[in-house]
Structure formats: structure tokens, C-alpha cells
Structure 1
């Protein structure tokens, strides 16, 4: 899909990581502004700066502006094509907090927001998704896989606040499926891994990807769903914090070693410029609610 060198890929990943951190921060500030009258009623969020009035909404808006400008500065380091792919994500960032007021599935909106890097990675390496059918298929599958993953781990996260959310009138997928959560988590895990594998097929990934990325995802997700105690706040927090890192780390390493294997010909085929799927795990880890 791309003839980018390993150094170009590493540089792009570094920019993505920095951009993800900046825009995650902006999303958290926007979320806290929206929720400033709800957070005081939830034990976990009542001490957030805006909720406890340590920071005024006006100052928070100014800070958000600075964060967004920093994000724009990073975005401008990418090819111009990325600008047109990046702008739509702002709509998702600003509307996620509204979703928890009108639907029991705000985690789906969060997934659409956090996973946008899957769409951005291809144009960042000079691939126009609108003119490359196989790249579009791979990006769409990877994006959808990350959406399912985000919904999965944020459903566990939402169980920490389930009682306070019910009292405050905040909607979440955990409330909607409180009594069949592990069934839903298992279904999401199947969807995530299936779509991840589909992305690999579209991108022409080798066996290292399917064993490393897909195999490790099956293992880590299965253990997490089996072990997490949904009525235990500490257990939910531990698996939310560490589970996404374990799964994301496995997927990333699988992609990395598949890239190396194909770039060096260790996969048993002729050495060639490997097709690249973007690493969006840094975009899909975070706390925004």
C-alpha cells in the first residue's frame, strides 16, 4: 500500500502519539465542561477541577482553545490530505459528552472518536483512501475493530459508576446491559478480532500479524472478560487500565514484527516494501467520561 521507509513510519507514529495525547486532553477538557453539573454527583468525578470549581468554565474554554491549537499544529506536520481527514473528528470530540444524555450507547460515539486514527494513518503515509479500494477496506475494518474494542473496555469502565450514573440520570451501555454484560463483552471481542483479521487480509498482512496481533487479542480479551469482577470497582479499574494496554501492546507488536518480517524477507517471500496498517492503539486508550 505504501513504500514508506521504516524511519518515515516511526516518525509518523511519533506524531500520532503526540497528537493523540494532545487531542485526548482536549477531549477530556470538553467533556468536563459539558459535565460540570453532573460530575459533582458521581463519586469518581466529583473532585475534577471544573466540578469542584477550582477552574472556572471560562478558563477551561481558553485552555481547550490552546489544546486545539496545539493539535492543529501537529496535524499540519502531516501531508495536506490529512487535514481533510482530521477535521471531521472534531465533531465527534465535541458531541460525545452529549451522547450520554440521550442514549444508552455513548460508548459507541466514544469509539468512533478514539478510533479515528485508523482513518488518518493511511493519508499520513501518502495513501488517499478515496482512490485506493484495498486501503479503504483495510482502514474501514481496522477503524471498526477499534470502535468495538473501545466500547468493550469502556463498558467495563462504566461499571465503576453504575450506581451514581443511575442516580444522576447519566446513560451508559453498562446500565442498559447490567445483567448480561459479559455476554455483550464477549460479542464485542469476537467482532473486534474478526474485523482486525479482516483488516489484515485487506492489507496483505503475513502470518506474524495473524498470530501476534489477532492471537494475542483473543488471549488478552478472553482473560480480561473471564477475570474482571464487574461489581468490584477496583477490579474494573485494574482491567480497564491494564487490559487495554495488554491488548493494544499485543496488537502493536504483532503489526511491528509483521512489518519487519516482510521488510526483511523473513516471511519467506521476496523482500519488498511492506504494506502498512497504521498503529492506532495510542488513540484507543484513554479516559473521557
Structure 2
């Protein structure tokens, strides 16, 4: 299917059309909103889910009826701020590459809507919001949060040197699996570590689907990805990645002493992941994007199972 790219009115080609950024945001704010991908919440949801899953597992392990609501709110604010900061940083690093790829050449920096200097100012502002959120947690969580800056910093460069940039995205995006538990207990344990490793496999899987949108342009400009690496073997690779993620999430739930509702949620989530694999057409860019975005629903399924399990266990 041929994709049409629209730069009219400063819109970004692959952004959601008719979103509040285009219709209600002040004119001066729109380029920065697009730079932070505010019109595409899927990114911060994917960053948020490991945090919320971990907080829910911590509730199960601690005997609480629900995850700490204050922690959930802080994680959401932090995910939105740091996802926006990450996108801004990534676009600064990739501005030359983005200018050569049809889907990304209309982004604010390569299209000239935002200067690199102002993008850096915006990056600092978002990072300060993330810092304020981080300082609201206990000392161990603060140290752990600062450690996450390493995988965040190196990820944008990995597409130039390895066929596995999605692995490094997993290192960064799954860090919340450690944070949710640490915010509750002030330490780590087996459950969050298993959740973190499972999150890495899940991230490689969904971002491989996403990367199939750009594989032709990526080949032209020399950008590497697991989509290009797996090619026609993408479906078997996804079976291994999603299967491994499901197994590790199940082991994490067991390590947290979860009950049947948590495992039921994981089972329903596994069916959703299987649907993605069966439905996938790696040559249909629009479908790849839709399946990638469907991982928000997967996140809700797993989270709901964990929360319901904690509530029922407390009642019993």
C-alpha cells in the first residue's frame, strides 16, 4: 500500500490527523508538541506499562489491595515527560537520517519548524519535569532512576552499529519494571528482574513490527533494525520473543506470589500477542502501525489481571 506524506501546515506525516495538537493547541506550541509526540500517546503508554505492572506486582507481594495510587500518578507524569524528552533527544541525534526518510522528513527539526537550539531547551525542560518526579521517590529508586539514563543515552546511536537497536530500546523502555517495585520496597527482588527481562523481549517484538514501516528507507540510508535482520522470518522470531516475554512475566508473577487472576490476565494477553503474529503482514505499513499501537490493549489486559488479583487476595 502506498503511503501519502503530508507536510501541509507543519503536520508530521505519520502523526494522528485531527488530533488536539492540530486543532486546539496554540500555534507556537504545536511544533514542540509534535517533537514530544504528544499526539501519539502509544509511546508513553509503552514506557508506562512496565512501571504500572511492577507497581501492581509489588501490591500483590506486599498484600495491598491496589497499587499505590500516588506512585501510579507519578509514573504517568514521568512517562509522558521522559518519553517526550527521549523523542526530542532522538530527533536531535537523528536529524540527518530523518531528513532522508519519507515518514520522518516532516518532523519538526528536519523540516525546520524547531531549531536544534530550541529543541535542546525543550529537552532540558522535559527532563526537569522527569527529575521532579524521580525525586518524589525513595533514595534507592532515585539512584535506580539515574542509572536508566545510560541505556536512554546510547539507544539512538545503536541503529548505526548493530542489527539489534530494538534490544537497546528494550533496556531503556523496560526500566520501569524495576522502578515500580523499588518505589514500594526500596530494593529489588527476583520478580522485578524477571519482569524487566520479559519487558525487553516484548519491546523487541513490538518495535520490530513498528520498524517494518521503514525497512526500505532504512536500507537506503544504512539504518539497521531487527525488522531488516529478521525479514521474512519475522513471524517465527515474534513467536520466540513474545513467547519468552510471556514465560518471564508468568515467572515474575509467581515470584511475587500472585494468584489465579494474574495468570488469567497473562493468558489473555498471550492470546492478544498471538493475534498480532497471525495478523501481521510485514509489507503493509498501515497494518504494522495498527498492530504496534494495539500493545496498549495488551498492557491494560496484563495490568487489569494483576490489579484484580491483588484486590481479590486482600478480600480473601
Report the TM-score range of the alignment, normalised by the length of the smaller protein: 0.7 to 0.9
- For residue 194 of structure 1, the aligned residue among 222, 243, 247 is 247
> How many angstroms apart in 2 are the aligned matches of 1:39 and 1:197?
38
- For residue 220 of structure 1, the aligned residue among 258, 272, 276 is 272
Match of 1:278 in 2: none
The question of whether the paired residues in 2 share the 8 Å contact of 1:155 and 1:173 is answered with yes
> How many angstroms apart in 2 are the aligned matches of 1:190 and 1:7?
28
| 1:3 shift after superposition | 4.3
Where structure 2 has 5 or more consecutive residues not aligned to the other structure, the ranges are 1-57
For each residue in 1:235-268, what CA deviation from the matched residue of structure 2 results, as whole angstroms up to 9, or x when unmatched?
10111112x1121111011111011111111xxx
Match of 1:110 in 2: 169
> How many angstroms apart in 2 are the aligned matches of 1:89 and 1:220?
29
| 1:81 shift after superposition | 1.8
SS of 2:114 mapped into structure 1? coil
The question of whether the paired residues in 2 share the 8 Å contact of 1:111 and 1:150 is answered with yes
For each residue in 1:119-138, what CA deviation from the matched residue of structure 2 results, as whole angstroms up to 9, or x when unmatched?
11112113312xxxxxx210
Say whether 1:39 aligns with 2:98: yes
Say whether 1:240 aligns with 2:289: no
Match of 1:55 in 2: 114
| 1:5 shift after superposition | 4.9
Match of 1:75 in 2: 134
Where structure 1 has 5 or more consecutive residues not aligned to the other structure, the ranges are 130-135, 266-289
Q: Could you tell me the TM-score, scaled by structure 1's length?
A: 0.86
For each residue in 1:148-176, what CA deviation from the matched residue of structure 2 results, as whole angstroms up to 9, or x when unmatched?
11110000000000000000110000011
The number of residues matched between the two structures is: 257
- For residue 17 of structure 1, the aligned residue among 60, 64, 76 is 76
> How many angstroms apart in 2 are the aligned matches of 1:152 and 1:17?
23
The question of whether the paired residues in 2 share the 8 Å contact of 1:79 and 1:126 is answered with no
Match of 2:125 in 1: 66
Match of 1:249 in 2: 300
- After TM superposition, what 4+ stretches of structure 1 lie above 4 angstroms from structure 2? 1-8
Match of 1:132 in 2: none
Match of 2:312 in 1: 261
| 1:179 shift after superposition | 1.8
